[in-house]
Amino acid sequence: MIAETGHFALVLALMVALVQATVPMIGAHRGNALMMAMDKPSSYSQVLLVAFAFGCLTYSHVTSDFSVLNVVQNSHSKMPMLYKVSAVWGNHEGSLLLWVLILSLFGSAVALFGGNLPPTLRARVLGVQAMIAVGFYLFMLLTSNPFLRQFPIPLDGKEMNPLLQDPGLAFHPPFLYLGYVGFSMAFSFAIAALIEGRVDAAWARWVRPWTLAAWTFLTIGVALGSWWAYYELGWGGWWFWDPVENASFMPWLAGTALLHSAIVVEKRDTMKAWTIFLAILAFSLSLLGTFLVRSGVLTSVHAFATDPERGVFILMLLLIVIGGSLVLFAIRAPALKSTGVFKPISREGGLLLNNLVMSTGAAVVLLGTLYPLFLDAVGGGKVSVGPPFFNSVFIPLMLPMLFAMGFGPVLAWKRTDMVEAAKRLKLAFIATGLVLAAMLAIAFDGPFMGIVGITIATWVFMATAVELAERIKLFSAPRQALSRLLRQQRASWGMTLAHMGLAIAIAGMAGAGGWKVEKIQTMVPGQSVNLAGYDFKFMGARRAQGPNYTIVEGTFQVSEDGNPVVTLHPEKRNYPVRQMPTTEAAIHTLFMGDLYAVIGDPEGSEGGFVTRLYYNPLIAWMWFGAFVMVFGSVISISDRRYRVGAPKGHASGKQVGAKA
């Protein structure tokens, strides 16, 4: 009964969404308050119905109800509880249910907190949200129903893919989806604004926190995904420019651009059409990401078994959403009037540069990701576009922007003297020069991109720090600096932290990319291998038993100049249900780098094993940097100005005056 009730709740949710997609929209068009008022109750009922359906599926999974097909295929009675729960969204049907659950949560959040939104705008935003929801409910009910029964009932399930039985990946999909679906908010606001024909500071002020939230979740999702790839796949790498990874990176780039352009709309009442376009772009790329991952049209190292027929449905959905919104954009965007005027060298100009580079970056990633599909479709043969392409195109594009990123925050709105701005960053120039000189002195023949990366990371970090110091007058009036520091707006704290976090992350990428040391060999017990100054001594391997897998666990004693550092225990696990082995790398994080060991297959008669050892310099900085970015973003979301609601005209005027 539970499964059928869940199914029924989903059908009801579709019905409610159909009402919500039409009645409030018509009401907003005719100015009928009663019809518009339908938006709130329907949003609430949708979230309750979907949450109920999700609860039903979770219940079936947690109780290992093997009469439900989805449970049979993705769960097993011996799996630990955490993975029984994460198995709910660790599969196609369940992940879609999570998708619509998050969508309805965002919708009801607008209904709940949208008290100060103009009623027509709110009705239209929720109407657009419901339209997206209708598409996804239909997709689920017609092609991917998670509540199908299995008969006869098997004794046990097929278990979730062992690679997914991992804490990092248990939470990766929910965060990624919170990010993807979060951009649906900006999208709905954009479409509603196009219908209304009006975009103003209040609109931007509404869009920004949602975009920030989506961006925060997406950043967490992407970071978790790369972290998982790093420690679970055992290749010592963290980013492969794989289609599935690119699928999450493109919306991130577009979302980052949107985040910055919304500031210009809010503060300066210009770049409106562009911001709307970015909102459409960010959500379209999110949908495309879902499509790429779910359809299996691209060869991906992260690909899971997929079903092309569903791909066609998502492709249709994609065409309707992107095509429809772009047509609407083409018709209505010219009506959006901007009032703010600015010179190229100004804060607006800097933000626009960020936007242009981010969008170009997203376009390049899109091109590289889809090119194999395109070439195959026109009969040009099968190709793969790999890391060399992306590294040689994407990185050179980003470097100038990162350089400009140091200047952005010191530029004033409207117009700035470039020389004056450069003077303010004198200290940052000096610090960057010193770091570069030090690096060249130590390792003149070091990897070019590594040195460039560290230099640019230092520049971004120092420029951001100097700007903060300037803002609190650390040098000119140091006595009140602390109190000024504490009085900084949360949104500007967010900027400072996010930019610093990016700098830290770039240092990590440059370090790991430039100075990685890798050794592959067969080791017999007692044998030592030296790697980047560390001695890895192989002590042998033993067998053990996990809850639903067997283990071969190797032991490495790592020492530096004879002083013990750490003992590493990499594992090779074998999951008997699926006959599938997984690799569990052993990682020890030091400030300057990670010690990383992987054990492979046995070799020879003396207890030897193939082993793979890495020294990954600075790599943990990358995830720490991502954490700092997320932290900054959360602080920014908590800024009071976003909660006070509709802004007073003079408030934003004062803002500009103070900064200019």
Tokens 């009645």 label which residue?
Answer: 23
Taking CB under 8 A as the binding criterion, the range among 113-121, 183-191, 350-358, 438-446 that sits at the site for another protein is 350-358
Please identify, among the stretches 384-392, 465-473, 546-554, 624-632, the one whose residues bind another protein according to the rule CB under 8 A. Answer: 384-392
Question: CB of residue 158 vs another protein: minimum separation in angstroms?
Answer: 9
Does residue 580 bind another protein (CB under 8 A)?
A: yes
Taking the complex as a whole, the smallest distance from the CB of residue 287 to another protein amounts, in Å, to 22
* CB-based contacts of 401-405 (< 8 A; 24+ apart in sequence): 401/353, 401/354, 401/357, 401/358, 402/456, 402/459, 402/460, 402/506, 403/456, 403/459, 404/350, 404/353, 404/354, 405/354, 405/460, 405/463, 405/499, 405/502
**Judged by CB under 8 A, does residue 600 bind another protein?**
yes
Site residues (CB under 8 A) for another protein, limited to 37-96: 69, 72-73
Task: Check residue 592 for interaction with another protein (CB under 8 A).
Answer: no
Of the pair 235, 627, the CB lying nearest another protein is at 235
Work out the burial of residue 501: count CB atoms within 10 Å of its CB; fewer than 13 is exposed, 13-18 middle, 19 or more buried.
buried
Residues whose CB falls within 8 Å of the CB of residue 263, separated by 6 or more in sequence, listed in order? 204, 208, 351
**Nearest distance in Å: CB 577, another protein:** 11
Stretch that binds another protein, among 43-51, 126-134, 286-294, 348-356 (CB under 8 A): 348-356
Residues in 389-408 at the binding interface with another protein, rule: CB under 8 A: 389, 392-393, 396-397
Q: Which is nearer to another protein, 152 or 381 (CB)?
A: 381
Find the binder of another protein among 476, 483, 563, 579 (CB under 8 A): 579
Q: How far is the CB of 3 from another protein (least distance, A)?
A: 16
Angle (CA) 366-100-84 rounded to 5° is 100
Torsion angle, CA of 275/241/629/428, rounded to 10 degrees? -90
* Runs of H (alpha helix) within 67-166: 69-74, 81-86, 92-113, 119-143
- Residue 34 or 377 with smaller CB distance to another protein: 377
What is the secondary structure of 144-181 as a DSSP string? --TT-B-SSPPSS-----GGG-SHHHHHHHHHHHHHHH
Residue at 54: amino acid letter: F
Pick one of 41, 80, 324, 344: the residue that binds another protein (CB under 8 A). Answer: 344
Q: Which is nearer to another protein, 116 or 384 (CB)?
A: 384
Name beta bridge partners: 534: 531
The residues facing 613 across adjacent strands are 519, 597
Take residue 360 and report the two structure tokens written for it. 């170009």
Q: Considering only 111-119, 213-221, 454-462, 595-603, which stretch makes contact with another protein by CB under 8 A?
A: 595-603
Q: Considering the rule CB under 8 A, would residue 385 count as an interface residue with another protein?
A: yes
Q: Is 305 in the site for another protein (CB under 8 A)?
A: yes
Residues 135-174 touching another protein, rule: CB under 8 A, are 150, 161, 163
Number of residues that bind another protein (CB under 8 A): 60
- H or E stretch at 537: strand 534-545
Residue 155 CB neighbour total at 10 angstroms: 7
Is 598 a binding residue for another protein by CB under 8 A? The answer is yes
Applying CB under 8 A, which residues contact another protein?
69, 72-73, 150, 161, 163, 233-234, 296-297, 299, 301-307, 341-344, 352-353, 356-357, 360, 363-364, 367-368, 371, 381-386, 388-389, 392-393, 396-397, 520-522, 578-583, 598, 600-601, 603-604, 610, 612
